[in-house]
C-alpha cells in the first residue's frame, strides 16, 4: 500500500486503514441463503479480482440483502458491510468517486442501524471500518478538512465496540493495525501490535478474512522488527488464504529481497 506524503494525522489514518475489513462477533443472524453471496463478494475483494466481477458480486449480494432481511436493523447493518466492501474495491483501483458514493451509503446505513441498536458492538466496529476507508478516499480527493474533522473517530469507534464486546475480533484487528502500520513517531509499536494481533487470533468470531488480516499484519510487524524469517512465514500464511492479494504479495517480495518494510 503506497502512502502519500501528507501531514501527521492524515498519514496515520492512511496507514491505519491498511487492514480495515469487516465481520462480526455479535453480528445479526444471517439467513443461510445470503451467506454464499456475501462470502463470494468478500473473497473477490480480498483476492483483488477484476472490478467487473466484484461489481457483479456486489449487485447480487445487495439484491439478495433487500429480499432476505425483514427488519430495518439487520437490513441496515448488512447494507453497511456490503457498501464498505464495494467502496474499498473501488478505492483500491482509484475509482474515488464511485468509492465515495458507496461508502457514504454505507455510513448512512450503519448510522441507521446504530439508531436502532446503540448497544450493538458490530455497528460501531463497522462504522470504524467505513470511516477509515472514507478517510483514504477524502485524502486522495484532497478533502483534508474532512479527515481533520473525522480521522480520530476511527480508533474511538473501534474501542467503543470493544467496550461493549471485548471478544469482537475484528475490532481487535483494527486496534492492532494502529500499532503495526504507523511509524513510531505517529504511535506505531510493532511489538505491541503483535500482541494485539495474537489476541485477535484467539477470538471466537475469527473467519477467513480475519485470519488474512492477522497474518499479514503479523508479517508486517515482524518485518519492521527485522525478524525476516517470521515475517515471511506469516505473509506466506496470508497468501495461502488469498493468493491473489496484491498487497501481501508485494510485501512478501520486498522483505524476501531484504528491502526496508514500508507499510
pLDDT of residue 166: 96
Which residue reads 441507521 in cell numbers? 112
What is the domain extent for residue 47? 8-256
Q: Does residue 1 form part of some domain?
A: no
Q: What is the pLDDT of residues 60-104, one digit of tens each?
A: 999 999 999 989 999 999 999 999 999 999 998 999 999 999 999
The CATH number for 226's domain is 1.25.40.10
Q: What is the pLDDT of residues 128-142, one digit of tens each?
A: 999 988 888 888 888
Q: Does residue 79 form part of some domain?
A: yes
Q: Does residue 160 form part of some domain?
A: yes
pLDDT of residue 127: 95
Q: Does residue 17 form part of some domain?
A: yes
Q: Does residue 122 form part of some domain?
A: yes
Average pLDDT over residues 29-50: 95
Kindly tell me if the per-residue pLDDT of 15 is higher than 50. Answer: no
Kindly tell me if the per-residue pLDDT of 26 is higher than 70. Answer: no
pLDDT of residue 221: 96
Q: Does residue 3 form part of some domain?
A: no
Check: CB of residue 220 under 8 Å from CB of residue 251: yes
State percent of the chain over pLDDT 70: 89
Q: Does residue 2 form part of some domain?
A: no
Q: Does residue 261 form part of some domain?
A: no
C-alpha cell at 196: 494485539
pLDDT of residue 28: 61
Distance, CA of 100 to CA of 141 (rounded, Å): 10
Total tally of structural domains belonging to the chain: 1
Check: CB of residue 104 under 8 Å from CB of residue 79: no
Distance, CA of 228 to CA of 230 (rounded, Å): 6
pLDDT band at 1 (very low <50, low <70, confident <90, very high): very low
Kindly tell me if the per-residue pLDDT of 157 is higher than 70. Answer: yes
Amino acid at each position: 500500500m503506497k502512502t502519500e506524503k501528507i501531514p501527521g494525522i492524515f498519514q496515520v489514518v492512511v496507514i491505519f486503514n491498511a487492514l480495515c475489513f469487516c465481520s462480526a462477533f455479535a453480528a445479526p443472524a444471517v439467513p443461510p441463503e445470503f451467506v454464499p453471496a456475501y462470502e463470494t463478494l468478500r473473497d473477490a475483494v480480498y483476492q483483488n479480482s477484476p472490478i467487473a466481477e466484484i461489481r457483479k458480486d456486489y449487485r447480487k449480494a445487495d439484491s439478495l440483502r433487500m429480499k432476505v432481511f425483514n427488519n430495518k436493523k439487520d437490513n441496515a447493518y448488512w447494507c453497511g458491510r456490503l457498501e464498505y466492501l464495494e467502496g474499498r474495491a473501488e478505492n483500491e483501483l482509484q475509482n474515488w468517486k464511485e468509492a465515495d458514493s458507496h461508502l457514504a451509503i454505507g455510513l448512512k446505513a450503519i448510522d441507521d442501524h446504530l439508531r436502532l441498536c446503540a448497544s450493538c458492538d458490530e455497528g460501531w466496529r463497522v462504522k470504524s471500518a467505513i470511516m477509515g476507508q472514507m478517510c483514504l478516499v477524502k485524502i486522495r480527493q484532497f478533502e483534508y478538512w474532512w479527515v481533520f474533522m473525522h480521522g480520530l473517530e476511527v480508533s474511538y469507534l473501534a474501542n467503543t465496540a470493544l467496550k461493549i464486546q471485548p471478544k469482537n475480533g475484528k475490532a481487535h484487528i483494527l486496534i492492532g493495525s494502529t500499532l503495526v502500520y504507523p511509524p513510531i513517531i505517529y504511535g506505531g509499536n510493532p511489538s505491541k501490535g503483535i500482541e494485539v494481533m495474537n489476541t485477535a487470533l484467539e477470538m471466537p468470531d475469527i473467519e477467513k478474512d480475519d485470519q488474512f488480516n492477522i497474518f499479514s499484519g503479523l508479517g508486517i510487524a515482524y518485518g519492521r522488527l527485522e525478524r525476516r524469517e517470521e515475517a515471511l512465514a506469516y505473509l506466506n500464511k496470508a497468501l495461502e488464504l488469498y493468493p491473489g492479494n496484491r498487497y501481501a504479495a508485494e510485501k512478501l517480495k520486498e522483505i524476501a529481497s531484504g528491502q526496508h518494510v514500508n507499510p
